[in-house]
Amino acid sequence: MVKDCPLCAPQGELEVVRTDKFRVIRVDDPDFPGYFRLIWNEHVKENSDLSEEDRLILWRALCEIERIMNEELSPDKINLAEFGTMVPHLHWHLIARYRDDASYPDSYWSPKVRSTDEEKLVERREKTLRCAERINRCFA
């Protein structure tokens, strides 16, 4: 654990599941339901800092979460992103993307160019909760 790392000492996370290797949280963004983050428990900076066994555990978890997201959310695409420039603690973003989302086809971090119909967002938020339940069952 690193003292000033917000991922080592999180506050207010919506934790979906925690294993001995990682935790999965649901990011509560009202414009982007279907946004999860996988955070490695040990404070490491890069994927290459992991053992080969742990890299396989990480990749399998990402693929399983992506599969569940596809089945539950039916997005047009799922973005997987791993940066760590601002917070150098290994974590991955998994973001369901839809053609009508606020910044499609640009990145989640791009300026918003539209508002999504609120009824669709409500439906996607409900599906995201079901998706989180399945992710929890998968790794619990």
List the CATH number of the domain containing 86: 3.30.428.10
* Tally of domains within the chain: 1
> In this predicted structure, what is the pLDDT of residue 2?
85
What would the pLDDT profile of 113-130 be if each residue is shown by its tens digit?
Answer: 999 999 999 999 999 999
**Domain encompassing residue 94:** 14-139
| pLDDT above 80 (res 1) | no
Question: Does the residue 4 lie in any domain?
Answer: no
81: in domain: yes
pLDDT digits (tens, 9 = 90+) for 38-94: 999 999 999 999 999 999 999 999 999 999 999 999 999 999 999 988 899 999 999
80-114 pLDDT tens trace: 999 988 899 999 999 999 999 999 999 999 999 99
How many Cα atoms are found within 13 Å in the side-chain-facing hemisphere of 2? 13
Please give the Cα distance from 38 to 35 (Å, whole number).
10
